[in-house]
Amino acid sequence: MVNLKGLSLKLDIDSRDPASWEVLNNFDCYIDGSIRKCLPPIVYGQKPGPLVILNFIDWRANDSAPRRIIGFGSDSKLYDLTSGAQVGDASPYIPGSTGNIPWMGMMPGTLIPYNFRNWKATTAYSLNDALLKYSFVDGMLYIYVVTTAGTSGAHEQPYTNVVNGTITDGSVTWTNIGLQSNFQFILNYLVIQAPGYRAVKWDGTNVTQVGVSAPGTPVTANPLVVTPNFNGYGPIAGAFYAFTLFNPQTLHESSPSPLFGPTTFYATDLTTNKTINGAFIPPLPQPATGLQPQSYQEIRICVRQSAITAVAIGQGFTHVRFYRTKDGGGTLFLLTQLFDINGNIITNSDGSIPIASLSMDGNDYEALPTPQAAQPMLCAYDGFGNANLAPNAQTLATYSDFSSGKIVLQVGGGQGAGSSISNSFTYVGTGGASGNLFRLSPSFTLAGGTYAFRAYMDATSMSAGTMAWYLSPVGGAPVLTLSQTAGARGFVSASGAVPAGTYYLITDINGTVGNGNTIVWSDPLLQLGASNTTIGYPTPDSALVTPSPPVGQNNPPPVGEWAAIFGNCLIIQDEADKVKLWYSDPIDFESFGAGSSLRFPSATDDQITCLLGTFQSLMIGKRRLVESITGEAPNFTPAPVDPSHGILGKRCAINLGSNTVGLLNTGLSLIKLSLGVPTPFEVQVGYSPGWFVGRTYSHLLMPYHQLPRTR
């Protein structure tokens, strides 16, 4: 009976039973066929303080940065576990002492650590202030940072496309630090999902909430200035305005504000019903044939001040973006040039506007069908300036005695340098004297006052005589005259008293223009006042290019219970509906679409207890079953894994190759997540009974105050 090999405990898998050791405590299995005593633990780093660290992770800012061990303390503050130093504070969003162990993970995002402003003349700029501008050289969007603080000059300087190149602007020096999309601004955010709270993110310094509230208040649009021509914006069906909240440092943007049209409500301050257009600008009523048409020159778009300065969810949203539909359209497009109350362009090159640059322009109402009083509004202006009362180009030749030569009408091609008025017409010469020819606009009325009149004339092709614009009363002599001598070109202006009455705008030629050569009248600008002021017309539909985020697509995450990362998405379990999972936009972990959720109901309303990103799937554990999803957002495909066994707690499962080891009611078990073929006659998917240990262990990551004692 010697050489009884069955009693050999040689510890290799080929010659011993897997259960050779009934107990191995502080021993591990060592290559090959041995057990060895484990090394004891040592204290790592500095103790953060009189608290416990509930969870931790090795975080790094980007792929080339060193790792840091960041722990989440029971006081909801973040600590560097190596140095013991506090490095962040989540307690404003996650009250301390909750005892709930949070989920922690990293998601890539953007952090541009500058204070973005817009450019204004003779304005003080400090270090770390930044502009976002297209370089005229290559059309790319660069960031220009103040490297020498000072006061800007009278005019904006050309922006270099040379990285590290500088621009001297008054006493300010701007330095091009690279493209907005530069890799240097990519950051791994540390995302923390504490049960019962909204997810927060840490950028290495600050803790802020993930996402931003969708604006709940509509834009209030008020057309302020209407021009008696088509130079402005003349919708036929009408258009809607909306806005979003924008964080220029993270580039995250909210969902658009709601679109409310004409709304009637009880105005508590007026003690009467009131109707406003809301976010809608209606088509202008056009006059009868032969009279001047109308268009919007200046539209004030306002947002309730408290709606953008006190955002419910989200921090750092210091900018807004305004959007408008095309005439009669349903898609919102970014407005890239808006003005403040003084006519300054306040839109950055990325279409964002610092909230601080919006104008406080009195109180107004919101288009919400609820009793309300007028409230302080912050406004921007789509179009700006005193009304241009000059008639429309298309109608300047309504009455014409041009009997020779050819008339060419051009619309959309203003001739003057810096022209903002896009209409002109030309006279094509015959080579002979024209005689005194003139064209009359339709008549229009002016209130009495001082008017400034400016227009462009190009007489370079005229060899003799003059060309002119006249503002002339019906049946009377001109009150304002603009003349251009032969061979000259440019803007000509005049101003003076104009009695109230009915007027024509007259274009006149009395000279010689070479055969086939042209002379040009364009850009008439007639404004009330002693001098002409700058005009900015509303953005034409043709300039609306960049669509807004879809309505409801960039919402913040819900109050969550737990989280996971799968398919480039941040997955969050809904705290109020624990069988529902929300998934983020795959390229923006801060955006959760209104419909970006999946529910996993069961006959027993078994709630999700565990999320684990695994081999090709996200394992969704419940107490009595296991499911999974595969694929990519938004086409996730749910699939059952094990209908009979579940996972007890949030951190009670780990990956093991293509399988998962999870804690079941009866002990630890292996859950196969891939198709297996143990023998030619069976296929195995799911729970593998051979892995029972038969001893219960504590739920490693459940709230500790809810746990039974381990032993």
- The answer to whether residue 705 forms part of the interface with another protein (CB under 8 A) is yes
- The answer to whether residue 707 forms part of the interface with another protein (CB under 8 A) is yes
Considering only residues 298 to 317 of the shown chain, the ones binding another protein according to CB under 8 A are none
- To another protein, the closest distance from the beta carbon of 315 in angstroms equals 27
- To another protein, the closest distance from the beta carbon of 665 in angstroms equals 16
Integer angstrom CA distances of residue 639 from 425, 602, 650, 674: 69, 13, 20, 12
- The answer to whether residue 15 forms part of the interface with another protein (CB under 8 A) is no
- The answer to whether residue 406 forms part of the interface with another protein (CB under 8 A) is no
Contact track, another protein, 75-104, x by CB under 8 A = ------xx------------------x---
- The answer to whether residue 569 forms part of the interface with another protein (CB under 8 A) is no
Task: Judge residue 374's burial from the number of C-beta atoms within 10 Å of its C-beta, 0-12 exposed, 13-18 middle, 19 or more buried.
Answer: middle
Considering only residues 660 to 689 of the shown chain, the ones binding another protein according to CB under 8 A are 661, 668
Q: What is the layout of strands, in order, in the sheet containing 86-89? A: 53-59, 68-73, 77-80, 86-89
- The answer to whether residue 655 forms part of the interface with another protein (CB under 8 A) is no
- The answer to whether residue 599 forms part of the interface with another protein (CB under 8 A) is no
- The answer to whether residue 155 forms part of the interface with another protein (CB under 8 A) is no
- The answer to whether residue 63 forms part of the interface with another protein (CB under 8 A) is no
- The answer to whether residue 632 forms part of the interface with another protein (CB under 8 A) is no
Strands 115-116 and 129-134: parallel
Two structure tokens written together for 223: 């057309």
- To another protein, the closest distance from the beta carbon of 183 in angstroms equals 22
- The answer to whether residue 122 forms part of the interface with another protein (CB under 8 A) is no
- To another protein, the closest distance from the beta carbon of 645 in angstroms equals 18
- To another protein, the closest distance from the beta carbon of 599 in angstroms equals 30
For the chain, report the end-to-end CA distance as a whole number of angstroms. 44
DSSP string of 525-594, one letter each residue: EEEESSS----BPPPPGGG--SBPPPTTTTBPPPSEEEEEEETTEEEEEESSSTTEEEE-BTTBTT-B-T
- The answer to whether residue 13 forms part of the interface with another protein (CB under 8 A) is yes
The CA distance from 158 to 179, in Å, is 16
Region of 51-59, 343-351, 441-449, 631-639 interacting with another protein (CB under 8 A): 51-59
Q: Phi/psi zone of residue 381: left (φ > 0), alpha (ψ -120 to 50 degrees), beta?
A: beta
- The answer to whether residue 53 forms part of the interface with another protein (CB under 8 A) is yes
The CA distance from 345 to 381, in Å, is 9
Region of 12-20, 263-271, 435-443, 589-597 interacting with another protein (CB under 8 A): 12-20
Two structure tokens written together for 629: 């999803």
Where b means 16+ CB within 10 Å and e means fewer, 551-585 reads: bebbbbbbbbbbbbbbbebbbbbbbebbbbbbbbb
- To another protein, the closest distance from the beta carbon of 29 in angstroms equals 4
**Residue from the set 15, 27, 531, 543 that interacts with another protein by CB under 8 A:** 27
Q: Which of 542, 625, 538, 572 lies closest to 339 in space, CA to CA?
A: 538
**Residue from the set 91, 182, 597, 698 that interacts with another protein by CB under 8 A:** 698
Q: What is the 3-state secondary structure (H, E, C) of 221-235?
A: EEEEEEECCCCCECC
- The answer to whether residue 251 forms part of the interface with another protein (CB under 8 A) is no
Considering only residues 30 to 49 of the shown chain, the ones binding another protein according to CB under 8 A are 30, 33-45, 47-49
- To another protein, the closest distance from the beta carbon of 190 in angstroms equals 13
Residue type, 162: V
The CA distance from 589 to 568, in Å, is 8
- To another protein, the closest distance from the beta carbon of 602 in angstroms equals 29
| CB nearer to another protein: pick between 22 and 605 | 22
By rule CB under 8 A, what count of residues binds another protein?
A: 75
- The answer to whether residue 613 forms part of the interface with another protein (CB under 8 A) is no
- To another protein, the closest distance from the beta carbon of 87 in angstroms equals 13
